[in-house]
């Protein structure tokens, strides 16, 4: 009887271990789905097609979506808003699971927060790097770098991790850069730190020059041997993790971000960034999100002395249920780095009316060519021609003495001797 009791206990223990292993596997899978959902994208691995993740049941529209750099702690402070979170919260780091240790000053985060007892509490947090890879070039003149094909600028607010000697960076060093994209695809770094040994290369940006075998992000050519997903197109924001194979960057994992942040699951959006040219007047574009700009409210606190594409702004917008965005308030934070402004697109101006070119007639014996008379410009004199004033008699003429002829003396002079007359 005693042996049978021991066998029953062992059997129950084995069943309990199997059940716990199944729960752990299910929890891990749910974490992966939640992180991909946190990133707000559609994950693509090496295969064709993908998994279009849908919102969880019962998780409807609501809350505030916040996108920007971390500027303080005590919770986290993003875009001037204090957001609480539990210390054991599982967050996302470029689509992979991570702990709250990944929350560092200057890193760009996407936070979905809900109001709890009058305070904002994070429901989802995703940390997004801009590029992880080797330094390819250092421009000492304008202080820019090229990291994995991406042009990176620094400004006075860039957070440099301890141990990073920015003055002595050399090509080949691995960096992890967080930042915001300019209109031309370059980056303004909000944080820069050495990358951990063995970390994979990673890049975030807008798809350009999409073809069957790859596309480009900034100055990086991304190659892949299989077909791209149907929803991938030029202008989509993507996260690509890969490695260098035969001198080319081979994308191993691809995450396509939606045009509307948080898949439109928030009512309010507070976002920092550098605008891009919109498709029509009265609109504003950040990333791939375009929204209407009511002049009476949204532009009230902006600095219009400089084109918006040259400025970093913070925008508050309302997200409708159909995914459309409408700006409510816009505040300019600071201009882009001076070295970057020269690369950005100039403001649109009407083309000037071209002046007709003059045709010059040359002759072999003519040292200095002269235009024909029909093409010479007749210019008015620099000053008007002055006509002489009419002569007028003076008001007080000076009296001149009267001139009289001298008297005629009819007598011959005494010295004249008349000759004698003889007969």
Domain assignment present for residue 386? The answer is no
| HSE (side-chain half, CA atoms, 13 Å) at 266 | 28
Convert the pLDDT of each residue in 364-408 to its tens digit: 454 555 555 555 555 555 555 566 666 666 566 555 556 566 666
Q: Which domain covers residue 235, as residue numbers?
A: 131-256
Using CA atoms, how far apart are residues 304 and 306, in angstroms rounded to an integer? Answer: 5
Percent of the chain with pLDDT over 90: 33
Please indicate, yes or no, whether residues 252 and 139 belong to a single structural domain of this protein. yes
Q: Write down the pLDDT at residue 225.
A: 64
Please indicate, yes or no, whether residues 137 and 249 belong to a single structural domain of this protein. yes
Using CA atoms, how far apart are residues 395 and 179, in angstroms rounded to an integer? Answer: 88
Please indicate, yes or no, whether residues 138 and 215 belong to a single structural domain of this protein. yes
pLDDT averaged over every residue in the chain: 75
**Residue where a domain terminates, one of 256, 275, 305:** 256
Mean pLDDT of 66-81: 94
Domain assignment present for residue 76? The answer is yes
CA 136 to chain centre: 22
CA 422 to chain centre: 138
Using CA atoms, how far apart are residues 112 and 94, in angstroms rounded to an integer? Answer: 16
**Residue where a domain terminates, one of 256, 276, 308:** 256
Convert the pLDDT of each residue in 99-138 to its tens digit: 999 999 999 999 999 999 889 999 999 999 999 999 999 9
């Amino acid at each position: 009887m005693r042996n049978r009791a021991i066998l029953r206990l062992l059997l129950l223990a084995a069943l309990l271990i199997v059940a716990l292993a199944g729960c752990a596997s299910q929890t891990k899978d749910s974490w992966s789905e939640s992180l991909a959902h946190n990133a707000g994208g559609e994950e693509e691995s090496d295969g064709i097609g993908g998994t279009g993740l849908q919102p969880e049941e019962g998780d409807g529209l609501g809350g505030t979506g916040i996108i920007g750099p971390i500027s303080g702690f005590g919770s986290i402070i993003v875009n001037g808003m204090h957001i609480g979170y539990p210390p054991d919260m599982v967050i996302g780091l470029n689509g992979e699971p991570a702990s709250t240790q990944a929350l560092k000053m200057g890193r760009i985060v996407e936070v979905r927060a809900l109001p709890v007892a009058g305070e904002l509490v994070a429901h989802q947090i995703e940390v997004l790097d801009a590029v992880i890879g080797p330094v390819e070039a250092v421009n000492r003149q304008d202080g820019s770098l090229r990291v994995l094909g991406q042009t990176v600028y620094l400004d006075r607010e860039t957070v440099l991790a301890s141990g990073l000697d920015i003055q002595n960076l050399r090509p080949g060093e691995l960096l992890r850069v967080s930042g915001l994209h300019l209109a031309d695809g370059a980056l303004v770094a909000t944080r820069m730190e050495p990358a951990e040994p063995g970390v994979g290369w990673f890049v975030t940006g807008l798809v350009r020059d999409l073809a069957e075998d790859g596309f480009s992000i900034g100055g990086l050519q991304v190659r892949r041997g299989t077909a791209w997903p149907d929803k991938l197109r030029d202008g989509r924001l993507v996260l690509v993790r890969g490695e260098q194979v035969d001198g080319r960057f081979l994308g191993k994992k691809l995450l396509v971000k939606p045009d509307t942040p948080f898949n439109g699951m928030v009512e309010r959006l507070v976002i920092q960034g550098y605008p891009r040219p919109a498709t029509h007047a009265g609109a504003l574009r950040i990333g791939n999100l375009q929204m209407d700009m009511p002049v009476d409210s949204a532009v009230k606190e902006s600095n219009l002395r400089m084109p918006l594409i040259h400025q970093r702004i913070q925008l508050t917008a309302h997200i409708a249920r159909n995914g459309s965005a409408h700006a409510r308030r816009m505040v300019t934070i600071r201009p882009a780095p001076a070295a970057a402004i020269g690369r950005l697109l100039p403001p649109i101006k009407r083309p000037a009316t071209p002046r007709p070119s003059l045709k010059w007639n040359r002759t072999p014996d003519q040292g200095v060519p002269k235009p024909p008379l029909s093409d010479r410009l007749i210019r008015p004199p620099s000053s008007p021609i002055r006509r002489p004033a009419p002569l007028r008699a003076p008001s007080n003429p000076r009296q001149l003495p009267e001139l009289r002829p001298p008297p005629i003396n009819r007598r011959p002079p005494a010295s004249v001797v008349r000759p004698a007359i003889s007969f």
